[in-house]
Chain A
């Protein structure tokens, strides 16, 4: 069974993107979102889903007019889904439809799910009443709480927030019985999830993977947390100009929410069913900084390693990268670290043009890697590059990178997609245009 031989490099299975779904501050459908991105629109507005007046920062990229019952047939299940799960299920449903797959015309064991989601999205509404009932002389009385909680907390409360529930609902809805994984690495979650799903197909563990991520932290507690972390850009006079990645005036990120899903498929499987192919995923790499558990290296050491590994995995040369999709959150120290890492990576050749989807969509955290991947795939396909909004005077570390104020035509071959999270945890993906 086990042989003493040099491993022969087996022909690698190739993986293409055959379906896309996105719900974000720019719209509820792929068409809406993509056309807004091409126009260079911003999805950032004053918060309207709750009364945000007391917050010093009250702008965000909210998903507007989202009605889950339009996407989710089983009305009863909507009640046990937190908002991030509703968004994920809706985007997955859209991506599945877009892929031309239909229930019954694929092998369920060959369809898997690999999602990246946010955690800790529980909200104070869930506990407001029980906690006020449990106060005794100004303190939490555990004896009262133990009794009251059994009466007053929604019995299925836990299910609304358990991270793997997004993947679980999707697997039930779309009859996906293959491998299932849920990654929770904060802002790198969905890039990790797409990379892991890609490798599963390449290694023969599935023919089809529903990959991507979702997050919904534009909530009272979510806004308070990020305000207190000191990472948010101030309101300013115009919400759409608050996020300014790589501009000398950059001053923080803008909170946002949404979900993006990519259907990955083994090439011959896709060809056989004559699926439309948006692009090919060819590389994945990951690394982390180790200076502080939750703070990144100022020079973006891990991002450089991750990008390097992704290019190696893709067997791509730097010259083949037609553009870089930057993590570009607008937080000064993160922008600087990323710009430095990319400058070192491309030090041997001309820096490719760059785009930064967060300048339009805002920071969707666990979903951001999937958002950026989706935008990169469509850009490769249509041979154009969306702008970096609000970038006029680049920071010095970014000086070598071309960028565009409006969407610009470009000869496209491959794209590098960056994500960076707390502690410098980094994941990179490489996509390739199908005709390249």
Chain B
């Protein structure tokens, strides 16, 4: 049995494997349909009908019209009834836990933690705020005093608390009665990957044996859509299936998406002892800041390069071992050129031989959840020796000259893969993951 005898790395760090996957995404709400849609290269971006978006500059998103929450033990009138992104996290986590075959009653609850990259719920309850404004106007003016009087009557504090970014991992802890560390990081679009990296470290260093980790986010809300539009980050092309086109010369912004990806990370010997199915091994994690500008990435991709190098070093992985890269690939002019440059700087000439694809071409940008959902895709690629395409790739861009697996899925041996996530503010995260039996 090659590769499974050694439980530690040479430096004493424990090995960490992935034993369960769960997904709620625009491309499917279970692993099988998610993978099928990705392999078919079928766009999952739709017109927004979640709210009347007719006059909004952006009217399309990778949203999930048929997402149904099974209640998870909460009746809809319970004050703790979770909001949409927590519902998605719970649904994905239930899949992952079941997939991993975990029975929590057999485990030490303080050795199992939760580390999520969850976004906030709707950042402000627009309807409630409107009602406060309306009543204030009836009183004569929009003064602070009038606002306060009506806000005291209308604001639902329980709902505000539930919407906090840090509440999603608390719901997961309660669901599985796990008492280990409970954290949430919110590093913009890098959060899901960052959570996985940090959860991985905890197990490596013996702080926990199992971590429930990943990301969740749902920003298909009027204010969020307006906020991103005003930052000119979103494409206003509004052609649902054609707008997200990473690395294509005609790209002009990203498409918002929603969903959750949850992974069960487990210490190797723990997984072996209980005979768990092992999807992949988590190998390396790197996090850096650009230290450049809050909205623009560094022109020489210095933070991205350093994050990728750190992840490779951390994973004791040579450059020539990476068979596939799941790109951040947002479909913005700036990101895709910058990321291409970073890959070329890290891998040199070999960059042209490594197939790269962007999951966002198919499902849009899931913000805090993006990295986690894309890690699920990356692990499925390793398991199937197939990678999904970058769709809508039509016109080559001289600044983006790598092999982006255009439009058609491809079969090739994938032993180790790298997944990138970059966020506003110059957040860079890179993860390296590998087939478990490679050694």
User: Which range holds the interface residue count of chain B?
Assistant: 35 or more
Q: Shortest Cβ distance from B222 into chain A, in angstroms?
A: 6
Q: Are A177's CB and B142's CB within 8 A?
A: no
A10-B148 contact in complex given A142-B51, A425-B182, C-beta closer than 8 Å: no
Q: Are A158's CB and B227's CB within 8 A?
A: yes
Q: Are A146's CB and B155's CB within 8 A?
A: no
Of chain A, the residue at the smallest CB distance from B54 is: A143
Q: In the complex, what residues of A have CB within 8 A of residue B14's CB?
A: 7
A212 to B269, CA, bound (A): 35
Q: Are B426's CB and A119's CB within 8 A?
A: no
A184-B288 contact in complex given A50-B144, A153-B230, A229-B157, C-beta closer than 8 Å: no
Q: In the complex, what residues of B have CB within 8 A of residue A157's CB?
A: 227, 230
Residue A305 is within 8 A (CB to CB) of chain B in the complex: yes
Q: Are B147's CB and A220's CB within 8 A?
A: yes
Q: Are B425's CB and A164's CB within 8 A?
A: yes
Q: Are A184's CB and B165's CB within 8 A?
A: yes
Number of A-B contacts (CB under 8 A): 311
A172-B130 contact in complex given A288-B170, A293-B174, C-beta closer than 8 Å: no
Residue A5 is within 8 A (CB to CB) of chain B in the complex: yes
Of chain B, the residue at the smallest CB distance from A423 is: B170
**Which residue of A169, A171, A175, A287 contacts B179 across the interface (Cβ within 8 Å)?**
A287
**Which residue of B148, B188, B223, B303 contacts A52 across the interface (Cβ within 8 Å)?**
B148
Q: In the complex, what residues of B have CB within 8 A of residue A122's CB?
A: 123-124
Q: Are A180's CB and B287's CB within 8 A?
A: yes
Residue B166 is within 8 A (CB to CB) of chain A in the complex: yes
**Which residue of A52, A150, A176, A180 contacts B187 across the interface (Cβ within 8 Å)?**
A180
Residue B65 is within 8 A (CB to CB) of chain A in the complex: no
Residue B345 is within 8 A (CB to CB) of chain A in the complex: no
A225 to B152, CA, bound (A): 8
Q: Are B166's CB and A421's CB within 8 A?
A: yes
Interface residues of A in 1-22 (CB under 8 A from B): 1-5, 7-10
On B, residues with C-beta under 8 Å from A are: 5-15, 51-57, 80, 82, 109-110, 113-114, 120, 123-124, 126-127, 129-130, 132-134, 137, 142-145, 147-149, 151-152, 155-158, 160-167, 169-171, 173-174, 177-188, 194, 198, 201, 205, 222-223, 226-231, 287-295, 302-303, 306, 316, 423-427, 439
**Which residue of B53, B177, B227 contacts A142 across the interface (Cβ within 8 Å)?**
B53
Q: Are B293's CB and A55's CB within 8 A?
A: no
Q: In the complex, what residues of B have CB within 8 A of residue A155's CB?
A: 230-231
What are 28 A-B contacts defined by CB distance under 8 Å? A2-B6, A7-B13, A119-B165, A120-B123, A128-B142, A131-B129, A134-B130, A144-B55, A146-B222, A150-B229, A157-B227, A158-B227, A172-B292, A172-B426, A176-B291, A180-B187, A182-B187, A184-B185, A186-B164, A224-B157, A227-B152, A288-B180, A289-B179, A292-B174, A293-B170, A422-B161, A422-B166, A425-B170
A10-B6 contact in complex given A131-B133, A177-B306, A286-B182, C-beta closer than 8 Å: no
Q: Shortest Cβ distance from B427 into chain A, in angstroms?
A: 6
User: Interface centre among A10, A144, A425, by most B CB within 10 Å?
Assistant: A425
A158-B148 contact in complex given A2-B8, A168-B294, A288-B170, C-beta closer than 8 Å: no
**Which residue of B12, B201, B230, B306 contacts A7 across the interface (Cβ within 8 Å)?**
B12
Q: Are A146's CB and B294's CB within 8 A?
A: no
On A, residues with C-beta under 8 Å from B are: 1-5, 7-10, 50-56, 77, 80, 108-109, 112-113, 119-120, 122, 124, 127-128, 131-132, 134-135, 138-140, 142-147, 149-150, 153-159, 161-165, 167-169, 171-172, 174-186, 189, 192, 196, 199, 203, 220-221, 223-229, 286-294, 301-302, 305, 309, 421-423, 425
**Which residue of A3, A8, A161, A199 contacts B123 across the interface (Cβ within 8 Å)?**
A161
A178 to B302, CA, bound (A): 11
Q: Are B198's CB and A203's CB within 8 A?
A: no
User: Interface centre among B56, B160, B165, B439, by most A CB within 10 Å?
Assistant: B165
Q: Are A150's CB and B57's CB within 8 A?
A: yes
User: Interface centre among B54, B229, B289, by most A CB within 10 Å?
Assistant: B289
Q: In the complex, what residues of B have CB within 8 A of residue A146's CB?
A: 52-57, 222, 226
Q: In the complex, what residues of A have CB within 8 A of residue B174's CB?
A: 290-293, 423
Of chain B, the residue at the smallest CB distance from A309 is: B110
Q: Are B287's CB and A225's CB within 8 A?
A: no
Q: Are A120's CB and B148's CB within 8 A?
A: no
Of chain B, the residue at the smallest CB distance from A305 is: B110
Q: In the complex, what residues of B have CB within 8 A of residue A159's CB?
A: 231, 294-295, 424
Known pairs A164-B425, A172-B291, A180-B288 / 8 extra A-B pairs, C-beta < 8 Å: A7-B13, A10-B11, A120-B123, A140-B130, A146-B226, A288-B114, A290-B177, A292-B80
Q: Are B147's CB and A293's CB within 8 A?
A: no
**Which residue of A5, A109, A144, A421 contacts B306 across the interface (Cβ within 8 Å)?**
A109
A171 to B157, CA, bound (A): 34
Q: Are A225's CB and B178's CB within 8 A?
A: no
A54 to B57, CA, bound (A): 38
A-B residue pairs, 6 tightest by C-beta: A168-B425, A7-B12, A146-B55, A228-B157, A158-B227, A286-B181
Q: Are B425's CB and A287's CB within 8 A?
A: no
A167-B56 contact in complex given A3-B6, A224-B155, A229-B157, C-beta closer than 8 Å: no
Q: In the complex, what residues of B have CB within 8 A of residue A135's CB?
A: 130, 133-134, 137
Q: Shortest Cβ distance from A118 into chain B, in angstroms?
A: 9
**Which residue of A2, A288, A290 contacts B10 across the interface (Cβ within 8 Å)?**
A2
Q: In the complex, what residues of B have CB within 8 A of residue A3's CB?
A: 6, 8-10
Q: Are B166's CB and A51's CB within 8 A?
A: no
Q: Shortest Cβ distance from B226 into chain A, in angstroms?
A: 4
Q: Are A294's CB and B133's CB within 8 A?
A: no
A132-B133 contact in complex given A7-B12, A227-B152, C-beta closer than 8 Å: yes
Q: Are B289's CB and A180's CB within 8 A?
A: yes
Q: Shortest Cβ distance from A24 into chain B, in angstroms?
A: 22
Q: Shortest Cβ distance from A269 into chain B, in angstroms?
A: 19
A127 to B140, CA, bound (A): 18
Q: Shortest Cβ distance from B209 into chain A, in angstroms?
A: 14
Q: Are A181's CB and B194's CB within 8 A?
A: yes
User: Interface centre among B132, B179, B230, B424, by most A CB within 10 Å?
Assistant: B179
